A and B are shown apart, each in its own frame.
Chain A
Amino acid sequence: MPTWDYAPAPESRETARLRESYQMFVDGKFVDGSGTAFKTINPADEAVLAEVAEANQSDVDTAVAAARRAFDRTWGRMPGRERSKYLFRIARLIQERARELAVLESLDNGKPIKESRDVDVPLAAAHFFYYAGWADKLEYAGLGPNPRPLGVAGQVIPWNFPLLMAAWKLAPALAAGNTCVLKPAETTPLTALVLAEICQQADLPPGVVNVLPGAGATGAAVVGHPAVDKVAFTGSTDVGKEIQRQIAGTGKKLTLELGGKAANIVFEDAPLDQAVEGIVNGIFFNQGHVCCAGSRLLVQESIADELLESLKRRLATLRLGDPLDKNTDIGAINSAVQLAKIRELSGIGEAEGAQRWSPPCALPDRGFWFPPTLFTGVSQAHRIAREEIFGPVLSVLTFRTPDEALAKANNTPYGLSAGIWTEKGSRILWMANRLRAGVIWANTFNRFDPAAPFGGYQESGFGREGGRHGLEAYVAH
């Protein structure tokens, strides 16, 4: 029988309008940084995409001063209905430049174009659209009779959803009347800089949004700047704790969205095909570079064999490769550092006695790649069941009773998300009541909406992004 394969269906790289170099965005202008410019690469082939300005302490000083001026003179005093219209403009401009942003995101991050095109970029636009409507309705948000902006927000975001995280940070902050100094991740600075250009196209007053590329030192300078009133961070739990320590005693308001080790719990009455899709989406979406990824599969013992067989069959059909190909399911790992971490923890999984399995999967010669992987025979004591791997690696555990599922699911210092698969509505709510996590998905996973508050319990952080609750992080009351 002939084997039919997919023909290549790549998005045009030209759509990204990639430039040789990118400057930082301060006080409404693109300027060179005072730090050492760095290169951002395409993780799918390790080729240099562009050179990017690096912000150092003096650039942070300049940007924070610009943000302070903008807060005092324009943005903080502007009527909410006017701020609102700026945010609507930004939402529209993101939609207009959606394909450009999607291709650029896939180039810089390594994620499949179908995800950047269908998830990251539309959700970023939707987030601005949602919060645009709040800007002139803050007194109805349940945040007291006189909600006021905090001032200058210093925001540090990760590399897994570069544009979307920028939107999650900027939109509620701006809606509430704050001004922003945003530091994108050093491996994925490009879409945030295009978003800065969009702010320019929207005629956003100078200094309201500043974008400072750089690595940890730049982030620490933003977080630690004495004139920053509010710090918002999304990233690893370790760095989140460092930031909480760094700002101790300063009185700055802080919100943290950190790591997770979510349980995805499948009961024997679950719709199995749907559950298999949900498990795949839960851990292999965005190569598993998702803080709320369903990295621990808890499956009821009675259906474990059947489910695993279906799951393996499904994994064998996943297409790994060129992120710009519209048929690609699994893209590139974002960086060599992250790939090394995934390899290390997977190696530890094997060494501790869990059984490793991956489908036959050819990896490209260049770039950073890791095949979809699952571990069976995992115990709760194994490091792959406890630590966030942040890659396409699923640990499979079993349970017999709902109580056992709960005990295992809650046996973690994290608490960001959890999934429940069952046809029984009352069981969904019974479990949802008892899971100690900020987001519970039932018969779905990794679904996001600007109207739905998102954030963690325990060491997954505090504060919410999205919904009415997302405003609270940026309002004094």
Chain B
Amino acid sequence: MPTESRLSVRKTYKLYIGGKFPRSESGRSYEVHTPRGAFLANAAQASRKDVRDAVVAARKAFAGWSGATAYNRGQVLYRVAEMLEGRRAQFVDEVGDAEGLTARRAESLVDAAIDRWVWYAGWTDKIAQIAGSSNPVAGPYFNFSLPEPTGVVAILAPQKSSLLGLVSVLAPAVAGGNTVVAVSAQDRPLPASTLAEVLATSDLPDGVINLLTGFTAELASWLAAHMDVNALDLTGVAVADRTELERLAADNVKRVFRGAADPDWTADPGIERLIAYQETKTVWHPIGI
């Protein structure tokens, strides 16, 4: 039977909340095109209710994920890299379509995204050694400072780099033990939806990463104002639109990360994003007999 006559089975692109793949509770979707205008698919258009559900899921997952051993978190993140590697060809197609790239360029970006998970997998059990300290106080105390995850981090993912950029903002937050609600690139959401399928099969506990597709401007203000979100990453928001979000974030003193909107995501990421979502806890432990 000639294969060209077979009709392919298309995928429904959905949200990823609490380990499940719901459509938006609003029932809304929007058309996604290639940069040249060809129709690719309909993506779920998340609503305020979806944002709130995602924050609830992230909060619920926080105790377990932040309390897991760093070694365990490292293995889970490495597992994400393994799963992504297995789907490499699919992502090359999707990133190529989403960003209008040649296969060769898309391949290099997908490879970099896989390697980025590996880089952060190796960080989980080293952050405390880099960011912590033993403090020589003048008194009979063993005094030490440790980094601890901030909590629930809301991430507005970069608008251009649909996979590598997304991975570069997600991985450092979860490597440090935070849980995440992320809004994908508005016009290039499909690699994010597929990444959710990778995460769902990577031993990542439900709710640690929640991925929403939809309109950034609509969802960002709900996240910025949400009283159970501890930190806000503005990378995917145009500089002109950041002021109001920063203002809303002050309602519960959120940590705000003002990342460059379109940096070179292939560059060495450094540890800035790892440290941005860490609190420092100082413990005074008595010494005596």
Contact = CB atoms under 8 A, between A and B. Distances in A.
Nearest to A455: B280
A34 B218 CA distance: 46
B253 A248 contact: no
Interface in A222-250: 237, 240-242, 244-245, 248-249
B137 A451 contact: yes
B281 to A, nearest CB: 6
Interface in B206-239: 230
Contacts of A451: 135-137, 143
Contacts of B243: 248-249
Interface in B266-281: 270, 279-281
Contacts of B282: 438-440, 452-454, 467
Contacts of B6: none
A469 interface: yes
Nearest to B247: A248
A438 B137 contact: no
Contact of A437 (B143, B249, B281): B281
Contact of B284 (A249, A251, A444): A444
Nearest to B281: A438
A420 to B, nearest CB: 9
A442 B284 contact: yes
A467 B133 contact: yes
B242 interface: yes
A256 B135 CA distance: 22
B101 to A, nearest CB: 32
A453 B145 contact: yes
B232 to A, nearest CB: 11
B138 A449 contact: yes
Nearest to A258: B253
A413 B227 CA distance: 10
Nearest to B130: A142
A447 interface: yes
Contacts of B150: 457
A428 B285 CA distance: 8
Given A248-B246, A469-B133, A452 B284 contact: yes
Interface in A136-160: 142, 144
Q: Size class of B's contact patch?
A: 35 or more
B122 to A, nearest CB: 18
A449 B247 CA distance: 34
Interface centre among A251, A444, A449 (most CB of B within 10 A): A449
Contacts of B133: 453, 467-469
Contacts of A367: none
Nearest to B144: A452
A458 B145 contact: no
B284 A237 contact: no
B284 A440 contact: yes
A173 to B, nearest CB: 18
B253 A452 contact: no
Interface in A78-136: 126
B280 A469 contact: yes
B252 interface: yes
B250 interface: yes
Contacts of A440: 281-284
Given A248-B243, A444-B141, A241 B251 contact: yes
B79 interface: no
B255 interface: yes
Given A452-B145, A453-B145, A467-B133, A461 B253 contact: yes
Given A249-B246, A432-B283, A458 B230 contact: yes
A462 B253 contact: yes
Nearest to B133: A468
A462 B135 CA distance: 20
Contact of B250 (A142, A144, A248, A413): A248
Contact of A241 (B143, B230, B250, B285): B250
A439 B279 CA distance: 11
A237 B135 contact: no
B281 A244 contact: no
Given A428-B285, A443-B286, A467-B145, A453 B253 contact: no
A452 B250 contact: no
A245 B247 CA distance: 4
A68 interface: no
B105 interface: no
Contacts of A462: 253, 255, 279
Contact of A244 (B145, B242, B253): B253
A447 B141 contact: yes
Contacts of B253: 237, 240-241, 244, 256, 258, 458-462
Contacts of B283: 429, 432, 440, 442
Which one of B135, B249, B255 has the highest number of Cβ atoms from chain A below 10 Å of its Cβ?
B135
B140 to A, nearest CB: 9
Contacts of A360: none
A425 interface: yes
A87 to B, nearest CB: 18
A472 to B, nearest CB: 8
B126 interface: no
B139 interface: yes
B55 to A, nearest CB: 15
Nearest to A417: B282
B135 A452 contact: yes
A242 B251 CA distance: 9
A128 to B, nearest CB: 15
B280 A251 contact: no
Interface string B94-105: 000000000000
B135 A453 contact: yes
Given A242-B250, A256-B253, A439-B284, 7 more contacts: A241-B250, A244-B246, A244-B250, A453-B133, A458-B230, A462-B255, A467-B135
- The 10 A-B residue pairs whose C-beta atoms are closest, nearest first, are A249-B243, A248-B246, A244-B250, A449-B137, A248-B247, A443-B286, A451-B135, A245-B250, A440-B283, A452-B135
7 contacts: A425-B285, A438-B281, A439-B281, A443-B286, A444-B284, A449-B143, A467-B282
Interface of B: 130-131, 133, 135-139, 141, 143, 145, 150-151, 230, 242-244, 246-247, 249-253, 255, 258, 270, 279-286
